[in-house]
Amino acid sequence: MKNTIFFALFLVCAFTSYLPSATADTIFDINGDFVRNGGTYYILPVIRGDGGGIEFAATGNETCPLTVVQSPLEVSKGLPLIISSPFEILSIQEGLILNIGFTFVPPCALIPSEWTTVKGLPEGLAVKLTGYENKVPGWFKIERVSLEFNDYKLVFCATEDSTCVDIGVYIDGEGNRRLVVTENNDPLLVHFKKVEVESSATA
């Protein structure tokens, strides 16, 4: 009961601390358009050659693909993701509390299935889809890394101590490029590409 009350109080403080600011930087996609709150995007690497966009896969002993990974294929855009904030604003701003989730999840996954972080794994704190019990409460946000280009990094902030750490890539023994919380000052630099809705052909 105490933990529930503490978590509720923390969320109130966190939401107050991360309210949208008139001076906050708006996040832009690769076309220079602002990233829309609740919009659908591909998350692509800035540095090409080591992999493609973000998707999910089954790793380790998983029987359901719950691991968030970078595609091993450079030409792959990954899977579409919905990026949203609980605040009722039109565009995503730097530092906002975010929910990130794939538009499609495997049938074996829980719904809704959003990004979480899970502790106690060989790779450390790992980014997973909803379904693990040992998840770490917290939220994601986006931070700009380039003043000249629309390049960003993803960051995870833990509820317990409000510590915010970069999201990077861990390559396991099977070659999976797993997204993890990293303290090695080596974040995965990303940009956002809007998913275009194809119009249906008319007769």
Closest CA to 29 of 40, 21, 15: 40
Domains of the chain plus CATH, in order, are 2-194 (2.80.10.50)
Q: Examine the pLDDT at 199 and tell me if it is beyond 70.
A: no
CA distances from 19 to 92, 145, 195 (A): 12, 21, 27
Q: Could you give the CA distance from residue 127 to residue 130 in angstroms, rounded to a whole number?
A: 10
Model confidence band, residue 68 (pLDDT cutoffs 50, 70, 90): very high
Taking a C-beta distance cutoff of 8 angstroms, is the pair 127, 143 a contact? Answer: no
Q: What is the pLDDT of residues 94-149, one digit of tens each?
A: 999 999 999 998 999 988 889 999 999 989 999 999 999 899 999 999 999 988 89
What pLDDT digit, counting tens, does each position of 87-105 carry? 999 999 999 999 999 999 8
- The pTM for the full model equals 0.85
pLDDT range class, residue 11, cuts 50, 70, 90: very low
Q: What burial letters (b/e) apply to 56-67, b meaning 16+ CB within 10 Å? A: bbebeeeeebbb
